[in-house]
Amino acid sequence: MIRIHILNCGEVGVDPAVPNRGISRNTLAYTGLFRNAARRIWIPVKAFYIEHPQYRILVDTGWDSAVRRQPVSTLTFPLWFTSRPRLPAGTAVDEQLAALGLAPKDLDYVLMTHMDIDHDSGLRLVKDAGKILVSPGEWTAMHSRQVRYARRPWAGIPIGRMPLVRDPDAPFGQSWDVCGDGSITVLLTPGHTQGSVTLRIAGENGFVLIVGDTGYNRDSWEKLNLPGPVYNKKTMKQSLAWVQKMRQNPHCLGVLAAHDPEEKRTVIDIKERKKP
């Protein structure tokens, strides 16, 4: 059995244009600049723990518990301005792993869908994991001067690059078979960021996608609504169209987005494929 634990790691307060840039003609509306702060919305911040028979894998990390005391200095002012953190007691990723009987050192991998602040803020809490990996494209982006990337969450933490290989069946031609048996596959799905990835967890009874921010909610992939923060609109649309196609597959058990308020499940079980 492969079990996906959906960890609700607090919330993020953002402008309504963050999950859907189409609600405003102002292309910078999602930043909150010159916008009424009272109109901000709070959406969930989720990480995902995959309990595999051979591997223990965390996908994204949510907020650092330090945001409870020092949100601005922990995030940087520009990122705090656009993405206000809210992290109730007991909901930091290390606290939730502990509730499952796990320590960070028990994790084989921490796989990052991308390196936006509400996804990588908690890296310090799981720095003792076996390997922390991002896609090669995201590794390049996080070392750039783009204002959306803050180095504070991962300063001094070794972060490697996922060994993506050529795959003609992948939406953008690159993937990584994490376990070597097709049960967990990382697929390049750029657009929200330069190197965003999606995970496909597959088994006997179907598959689940963990899309990170390649879609904020069901409207994102059903209506192809672009989010506010976008690195490349063309590839974002292509990635969303691929997620839409996958969701229409009768074997799809769900699409898990990091900020989807409609997804209420906390656990999804996937039966292992029978070995020949």
List pLDDT tens digits, range 13-24: 999 999 999 998
Q: Residue 268 above 70 pLDDT?
A: yes
Q: Is the pTM of this model over 0.75?
A: yes
Task: Name the region of 110 (left: φ>0; alpha: ψ -120 to 50; beta: rest).
Answer: beta
Average pLDDT, rounded, for the chain: 95
Query: What is the reported pLDDT for 273?
Result: 79
Structure tokens at 61: 């990390």
Segment 142-193, tens digit of pLDDT: 999 888 999 999 999 999 999 999 999 999 999 999 999 999 999 999 999 9
Whole-number Å distance between alpha carbons of 234 and 254: 25
CA triple 185-150-106, angle to 5 deg:
45
- Tell me how long the chain is: 276
Query: What is the reported pLDDT for 106?
Result: 98
Query: What is the reported pLDDT for 276?
Result: 59
Stretch 56-79: mean pLDDT: 95
Whole-number Å distance between alpha carbons of 197 and 122: 19
Q: Residue 26 above 90 pLDDT?
A: no
- Between 29-38, 120-129, 147-156, 253-262, the lowest mean confidence (pLDDT) is in 29-38
Stretch 92-113: mean pLDDT: 98
CA distances from 224 to 20, 21, 85, 118, 245 (A): 10, 11, 27, 23, 11
Segment 192-230, tens digit of pLDDT: 999 999 999 999 899 999 999 999 999 999 999 999 999
